Amino acid sequence: MLVTQEFSIKANDEIILEDINLDFGPGIHIIMGPNGVGKSTFAHALMGNPKYETDGAVEFFGKDLLAMETHERAQSGMFMSFQNPTPISGLSNFQFMKQCLDAKQSDMNITQKLSAFTSHVNELNLDQGWDKKQLNVEASGGEKKKNELIQMLMLDPKCAILDEPDSGLDIDALQTLTKTIEEFTKHDKIVIIISHYENLIRNLNVDTVTVLGKNKIVRGDVELAYSILDEGFSAIG
């Protein structure tokens, strides 16, 4: 379980989100909200981005998440994908993945790691030789998103926060994304998705929908998302 209690976030002495009380159990959770309200900020603060100051409490499977450094949060089972993944020249996709698994103290040897990586590359219809390509360099938006799916699957976190994972994906890739997320959550995983993309939301078995607003937070089931998709954020008042 991931539980926030009176969780507040600020940057440059400005409060961005205040007194967030939410819980996320195994399943699929959608976070929506108007542009600029702080959805990505919420994700970054949970992962320990030093840009943000936090207050309150966040419990992650019985541990004090806010007491951990960013790498400790990752090692404890937190994962986050980004809206715009950073390209890193000189570091191949597989080498990056290998280093992540080594830091996690994976018991797979290098042959097993490469075999698993290649299998996911094929499942996601990425180019042959993807393991040797530089991380997010000269990659399309869709390819970057698929790359992060590979990272999620190989690191096998307890909780994955996906920030607009649907951007840059065509229809076929979107179907692959939804199938991958559904399969992943069958193993008691928490997946938190920041999105307002109708085709993604309507094709997932969503457990909760949380709408972040400037003055209030509204939580409901997938019908809340449908109302917003049909009527806009005015649907929640």
Domain for residue 163, yes or no? yes
Alpha carbon distance 94, 100 (integer Å): 10
Nearest-CA neighbor of 75 among 88, 86, 60? 60
Domain for residue 76, yes or no? yes
| The pLDDT value given to residue 237 | 61
Nearest-CA neighbor of 85 among 135, 131, 34, 10? 135
Domain for residue 28, yes or no? yes
> 177 is in which domain, residue-wise?
2-84+155-236
Domain for residue 131, yes or no? no
Structure tokens at 125: 């219809």
**pLDDT tens per residue, range 133-144:** 999 999 998 899
**pLDDT tens per residue, range 18-33:** 999 999 999 999 999 9
Q: What is the mean pLDDT of residues 166-180?
A: 88
Kindly tell me if the per-residue pLDDT of 234 is higher than 90. Answer: no
Domain count, the chain: 1
| The pLDDT value given to residue 92 | 97
| The pLDDT value given to residue 187 | 92
Torsions phi, psi for 161 (to 5 deg): -105, 120
pLDDT category at 236 given cuts 50, 70, 90 is confident
| Residue 26 belongs to domain with CATH number | 3.40.50.300
Domain for residue 20, yes or no? yes
**pLDDT tens per residue, range 98-125:** 999 999 888 999 999 999 999 999 999 9
Domain for residue 146, yes or no? no
Domain for residue 14, yes or no? yes
